[in-house]
């Protein structure tokens, strides 16, 4: 029997020779007891949940509290992305750049092949066909993932479009990302209540950008095991986007509608802990304005026939950080968590519901923490791991936009960059043009620490919020942004730099943030139409004091002046820090950004 005939006989839903060869090679390497070709059905999803419960790696939550939802607790050694063990294995080391871990692709494959050899003995190898973006969309991309983790497959069901439609869309094309994943550990003994998900002490997440491959071993955690997430959607897709002339960005996508029914679409990039998910799902406080969610994390953009950038959310779910999420901080996210969710490393209440820090006004009297230990509010440890997660279908978000799955995408009017800065950076700044906007994105920063009286903390630069996720040299990434600017001309989105976290000399936040950020979005909306007032400053355009809608807002005039103030001395002090940051990228830093820095210095003088 031929290889193709043999695999088809085992349940393959495709005759694509490249897919069949890939799966057969994986089967020969991993040596699983069985191969299951996933169909993406509801029945299959339920089987996966039951398997996790039966093996003791998950438990059902109270169906009256969280319908059809499970709680999974991980090994304490497997709770987050392992950036120090994440590699970009480009053919040339210089293509990976100084901000990525590089390894020779041939040497890395030889290393991981030894780990993969026989890693699925006694287990099932799942073949997962998935589409990042609406199936058949000209902006979407397809991946095929093999894994031995039921947890990973169940999460992929929520986060991507898994199923037979993907095979039909792929046809005989070779254009798909190949992903291989194994937890590298024996299955837990069935029916043992306290077994964590399996993982291995050796972990490795490697990306091969030229051949569009992802090889992951040893971890069951989301960003390491859900290969459609950061691995495909950003690290591999960013390289593909560079090669093909489009953009794969770490951005939310928001739809904003004014009282007249006019719509603008905005994409925004923020580093962690800067309110990205909250902004994606905010409820505006301004009467008559409406915000809806297209996506909360990833944005793929391609030029449409009219020359504008059109964006899709390539995901179908939210893989959100649970601690800090509450009805006060993100009501719409909480409403999306009522059913059909997977909760990872959160606390468990006495009535078998979930709990995490800041989730409710009142803490439960008793709970079980994420490490299966009794917990009370007096405990000197959190109930949930700080990186505890929820995986929820995006369709359950009450403010999901009707067009969130439109295959042609939505036209982007504005792009926002932001960081957590207690000083220097104003509440909102409009770039003069795409080139200056790229400059502002390239110097994005957040303070890791900031004392109350001294707002200048330790600065961590995270350009475009892509530093951990760009699959190639960041200098070349900046150059790609500038090339997009040359291609798009005057039809490109306007670019803005926002900062919700400016503080007073006493260390108090000057801006209320959260839903009140809709007031800044209103000004951005109106700037896109050229109707809101702004003043020119050395760093770009900022609102006049009366241009922001502050009706009913508890912010006094002195605070508003400070929020919109351009701190000349502060920006002068920033110049050597920017130069130090730019030196990281050596000769790869585009001349256009050097020019922007030089021009900024002249304007500040």
pLDDT score for 274: 83
List of residues 6+ apart from 70 with CB closer than 8 A:
49, 52, 53, 58, 59, 60, 61, 342, 343
Identify whether 275 is part of a domain.
Answer: no
Tell me the binding residues for GTP.
273-278, 389, 420, 514-517
Q: Known catalytic residues?
A: 274
pLDDT score for 86: 96
Identify the burial level of 161 via C-beta atoms within 10 angstroms of its C-beta, where 0-12 means exposed, 13-18 middle and 19 or more buried. buried
pLDDT score for 10: 63
CA-to-CA dists, residue 525 to 185, 395, 415, 495, 497, angstroms = 52, 26, 11, 12, 14
| Residue that finishes a domain, picked among 370, 396, 422 | 396
Strand ranges in 489-569 using DSSP code E only, listed in sequence order: 494-498, 534-537, 540-543
Residues 40/162, Cβ–Cβ less than 8 Å: yes
CA–CA separation, 346 and 132 (whole Å)? 28
Tell me the binding residues for Mn(2+).
230, 250, 297
Total domains in the fold of the chain: 3
Residue 356's domain is classified under what CATH number?
Answer: 2.170.8.10
Considering the domain architecture, whether residues 239 and 332 belong to the same structural domain is answered as no
List of residues 6+ apart from 337 with CB closer than 8 A:
66, 390, 392, 396
- Kindly list the averaged pLDDT for each block of 10 residues, start to end, along the chain of length 605: 44 92 97 96 97 92 98 91 94 97 98 96 95 98 97 97 97 98 70 57 95 96 93 98 98 98 98 87 96 98 98 97 93 97 98 97 96 96 96 98 98 97 96 98 81 51 97 98 96 98 93 96 97 97 95 93 96 97 97 98 96
Strand ranges in 482-522 using DSSP code E only, listed in sequence order: 494-498
Q: Full-prediction pTM beyond 0.85?
A: yes
Considering the domain architecture, whether residues 338 and 447 belong to the same structural domain is answered as no
Considering the domain architecture, whether residues 126 and 100 belong to the same structural domain is answered as yes
Domain containing 355: what range? 317-396
pLDDT score for 191: 44
Tell me the binding residues.
81, 221-223, 230, 250, 272-278, 297, 387-389, 420, 514-517
Considering the domain architecture, whether residues 376 and 470 belong to the same structural domain is answered as no
Residue 593's domain is classified under what CATH number?
Answer: 3.90.228.20
Identify whether 515 is part of a domain.
Answer: yes
Q: What CA dihedral angle connects 270, 274, 277 and 282, to 10 degrees?
A: -110
pLDDT score for 80: 87
Identify whether 185 is part of a domain.
Answer: yes
Residue (of 329, 225, 340, 218) closest to 283 by Cα position: 329
pLDDT score for 198: 67
CA-to-CA dists, residue 37 to 22, 147, 184, 209, 463, angstroms = 13, 11, 20, 26, 39
Residue 205's domain is classified under what CATH number?
Answer: 3.40.449.10
Tell me the binding residues for substrate.
81, 221-223, 272, 387-389
In the chain the first and final C-alpha atoms are separated, in Å, by: 77
pLDDT score for 224: 93
CA–CA separation, 316 and 299 (whole Å)? 12
Identify the burial level of 59 via C-beta atoms within 10 angstroms of its C-beta, where 0-12 means exposed, 13-18 middle and 19 or more buried. middle
List of residues 6+ apart from 141 with CB closer than 8 A:
131, 132, 133, 175, 176, 177, 232, 237, 240, 300, 314
Considering the domain architecture, whether residues 115 and 206 belong to the same structural domain is answered as yes
């Amino acid at each position: 029997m031929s290889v193709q005939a043999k695999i088809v006989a085992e349940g393959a839903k495709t005759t694509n020779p490249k897919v069949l060869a890939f799966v057969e090679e994986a089967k020969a390497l991993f040596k699983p007891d069985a191969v299951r070709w996933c169909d993406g059905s509801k029945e299959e999803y339920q089987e996966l949940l039951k398997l996790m419960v039966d093996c003791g790696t998950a438990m059902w939550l109270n169906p009256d509290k969280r319908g059809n939802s499970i709680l999974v607790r991980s090994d304490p050694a497997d709770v987050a992305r392992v950036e120090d063990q994440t590699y970009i294995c480009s053919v040339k080391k210089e293509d990976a750049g100084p901000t990525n871990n590089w390894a020779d692709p041939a040497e890395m494959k030889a290393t991981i092949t030894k780990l993969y050899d026989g890693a699925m003995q006694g287990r099932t190898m799942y073949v997962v066909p998935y589409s990042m973006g609406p199936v058949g969309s000209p902006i979407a991309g397809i991946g095929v993932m093999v894994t031995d983790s039921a947890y990973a497959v169940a999460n992929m069901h929520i986060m991507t479009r898994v199923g037979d439609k993907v095979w039909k869309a792929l046809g005989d094309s070779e254009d798909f990302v190949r992903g291989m994943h194994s937890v590298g550990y024996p299955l837990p003994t069935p029916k043992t209540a306290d077994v964590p998900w399996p993982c291995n002490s050796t972990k490795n997440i490697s990306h091969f950008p030229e051949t569009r491959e992802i090889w992951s071993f040893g971890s069951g955690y989301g960003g390491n095991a859900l290969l459609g997430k950061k691995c495909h959607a950003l690290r591999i897709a960013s390289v593909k986007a560079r090669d093909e002339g489009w953009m794969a960005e770490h951005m939310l996508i928001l739809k904003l509608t004014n009282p007249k029914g006019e719509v603008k679409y905005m994409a925004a990039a923020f580093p962690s802990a800067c309110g990205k998910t909250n902004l994606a799902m905010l409820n505006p406080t301004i009467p008559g304005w409406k915000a809806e969610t297209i996506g909360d994390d990833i944005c793929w953009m391609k030029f449409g026939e009219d020359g504008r950038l059109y964006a899709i959310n390539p995901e179908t779910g939210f893989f959100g950080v649970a601690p800090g999420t509450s009805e006060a901080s993100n009501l719409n996210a909480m409403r999306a968590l009522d059913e059909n969710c997977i909760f990872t490393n959160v606390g468990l209440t006495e009535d078998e519901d979930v709990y995490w820090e800041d989730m409710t006004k009142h803490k439960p009297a008793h709970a079980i923490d994420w490490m299966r230990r009794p917990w009370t509010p007096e405990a000197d440890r959190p109930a949930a791991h700080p990186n505890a997660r929820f995986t929820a279908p995006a369709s359950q978000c009450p403010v999901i936009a009707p067009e969130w799955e439109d295959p042609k995408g939505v036209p982007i009017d504005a792009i926002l960059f932001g960081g957590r800065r207690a000083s220097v950076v104003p509440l909102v700044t409009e770039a003069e043009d795409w080139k200056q906007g790229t400059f502002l994105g390239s110097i994005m920063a957040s303070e890791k620490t900031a004392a109350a009286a001294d707002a200048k903390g330790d600065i961590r630069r995270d350009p475009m919020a892509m530093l951990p996720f760009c699959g190639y040299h960041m200098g070349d990434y900046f150059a790609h942004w500038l090339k997009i600017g040359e291609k798009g001309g005057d039809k490109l989105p306007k670019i803005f730099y926002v900062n919700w976290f400016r503080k007073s000399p006493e260390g108090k936040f000057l801006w209320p943030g959260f839903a009140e950020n809709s007031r800044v979005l209103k000004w951005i909306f109106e700037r896109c139409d050229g109707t809101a007032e702004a003043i020119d400053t050395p760093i770009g355009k900022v609102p006049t004091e009366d241009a922001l809608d502050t009706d009913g807002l508890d912010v006094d005039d002195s605070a508003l002046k400070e929020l919109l103030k351009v701190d000349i001395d502060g920006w002068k002090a920033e110049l050597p820090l920017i130069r130090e940051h730019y030196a990281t990228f050596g000769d790869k830093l585009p001349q256009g950004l050097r020019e922007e820095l030089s021009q900024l210095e002249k304007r500040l003088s």
